[in-house]
Amino acid sequence: MQKVVVLILTLMLCFSSLAQISNSRKPQQALFSTTNEILEKSWQVYKEKFIQKDGRTIEWKREQITTSEGQSYAMLRSVWMNDRPTFDLAYRWANENMRLRGDSLYSWKWGKNNEGKWSILDTSVATDADQDIAYALILAAKKWKEPNYETQAKLILIDLWKKTVVETSIGPVLTAGDWAPKQAKPTINPSYLAPYEYRLFASIDPDRPWMKLVDSSYKVLDSSANLSSVSLIPDWCAIEPSTGKILLAEGFTQGEGHSYDAWRTAWRVAFDAKVAPSTDKRASIFLKKNSFIFNYWIKNSRIPEAFQPDGSLRVDVENIATIGCYLPAFAVISPKVAQQLYEKSLLAGFNRMAKSGLWGDPLDYYAQNWVWFGIALWSGKTIE
């Protein structure tokens, strides 16, 4: 009898071990099965954490300021997620609190002043925000059949061209803000250049040559990459209008390096690669030619936060926003590598946060936005 019991126990242990081995070989099920579910969860959490009930986007890590950039991101994500109530809240708040210049553009910074009063802190325009707001309005007009959105977008485009675009020997060029055209060598932020938006602007605002801005943007991007021995786009640069020559920006101590601002260039060019006509290969050519970051990740399986123009490290820590910006750009070069980047750095990071809907530092407004934008563009989620 004792031998039978021992035999039964032995068999039970064997079957248990086999079951464990079998289960260990099964692929681990992701916390979320689709990118759409991840994007939806992240958007809901972002609204709760960063957007007030009145529509103001808060940057918790920067003294709770609000920027025109932040409002533009909220509007763009709202359109992407078909969330009209949030879109209208963010747009209304921006109009009531940041559109007080006497034109159709937005002051870039709002927060608490030295007297403890909440108000505009800087009336200057940050060009990327105004063009992104106009873009979001045009998309919203189409999606929700609301022509007034497009009317408002046109007003922005008129003032944006009048106050931020300069004429140069390479054509009209978008500068960094309404303050830049007054400079002898106007400042440019390459990550503001958005050819995919200018293609759409041309269709609703034929009075301005937006397609020429597509051409000049690629000329600026190509020339600014040449400022680096490894073709890294700088955070800031400048242009000599009479010659079209791209120079290092004056007054920006880190302007020649590749970091916080420059990351977005990859995303914007990757967006253009998706929407440009099949005959226009400039976006894919640019990304494949300027592939330092792609090759760095292939070799090191990580992307540090900041590089010097020669490719040496300036800040040897990782920032999840970088991955978000580069994910769709990697897909243009190699869809397989982009998938690996997503799984290793973004999906794994999302899972590590235990379904929280956040990545990395939960108070990092910039990172939460650019990881989301990266996944949305890479996954093919339709914005229109």
Q: What is the pLDDT of residue 14?
A: 42
Q: What is the pLDDT of residue 10?
A: 43
Residue 5 in this model has a pLDDT that exceeds 90: no
Tell me the pLDDT of the chain averaged across its residues. 91
Longest distance between any two alpha carbons in the chain, whole Å = 101
What does the block give as tokens for 330?
């990697």
Q: What is the pLDDT of residue 33?
A: 59
Q: Give alpha helix (H) positions in the chain.
A: 2-25, 35-50, 68-80, 84-98, 127-144, 147-164, 195-204, 210-225, 263-275, 282-289, 292-300, 320-333, 335-341, 348-352, 365-379
Q: Give alpha helix (H) positions in 114-209.
A: 127-144, 147-164, 195-204
CA gyration radius, the chain = 24
Other CB atoms within 10 A of residue 302 CB: 14
Contact 38, 32 (CB under 8 A): yes
Contact 57, 365 (CB under 8 A): yes
What strands, in cross-sheet order, belong to the sheet with 245-248? 187-188, 237-240, 245-248
Helix (H, G, I), strand (E, B) or coil at 364: coil
Q: What is the pLDDT of residue 255?
A: 63
Question: What mean pLDDT is predicted for residues 296-314?
Answer: 95
Identity (one letter) of the amino acid at 30?
Answer: A
User: Is this model's pTM higher than 0.85 or not?
Assistant: yes
Contact 90, 51 (CB under 8 A): yes
Q: What is the pLDDT of residue 254?
A: 57
Contact 289, 266 (CB under 8 A): no
Q: Is the dihedral of CA 167, 160, 151, 134 positive or negative?
A: positive
What does the block give as tokens for 203?
């269709």
Q: What percent of the chain has pLDDT over 90?
A: 85
Work out the angle between the directed axes of helices 35-50 and 68-80 (0-180°, nearest 10): 140
Q: Which residues neighbour 130 within 8 Å (Cβ) at sequence distance 6 or greater?
A: 68, 72, 105, 106, 156, 160, 164
Residue 281 in this model has a pLDDT that exceeds 60: yes
Q: Give alpha helix (H) positions in 145-262.
A: 147-164, 195-204, 210-225
Among 197, 201, 179, residue whose Cα is nearest residue 188:
179
Residue 65: exposure state from Cβ atoms within 10 A (0-12, 13-18, ≥19): buried
Q: Which residues neighbour 158 within 8 Å (Cβ) at sequence distance 6 or greater?
A: 104, 205, 207, 208
- Lowest-confidence pick of 22-26, 67-71, 265-269, 366-370: 22-26
- CA 25 vs. chain centroid, Å, equals 37
- Lowest-confidence pick of 1-10, 51-60, 270-279, 282-291: 1-10
Q: What percent of the chain has pLDDT over 70?
A: 90
Contact 162, 105 (CB under 8 A): no
Question: What mean pLDDT is predicted for residues 143-149?
Answer: 97
Q: What is the pLDDT of residue 1?
A: 47
What are the extents of the domains in the chain?
63-162
What does the block give as tokens for 357?
């809907």
Contact 360, 349 (CB under 8 A): yes
154-191, pLDDT tens digit by residue?
Answer: 999 999 999 999 999 999 999 999 999 999 999 999 99
Contact 229, 311 (CB under 8 A): yes
Identity (one letter) of the amino acid at 41?
Answer: K
Q: How distant, in Å, are the alpha carbons of 144, 152, 165, 226, 238 from that of 195?
A: 24, 21, 14, 20, 19
Among 282, 368, 279, 277, residue whose Cα is nearest residue 332:
282
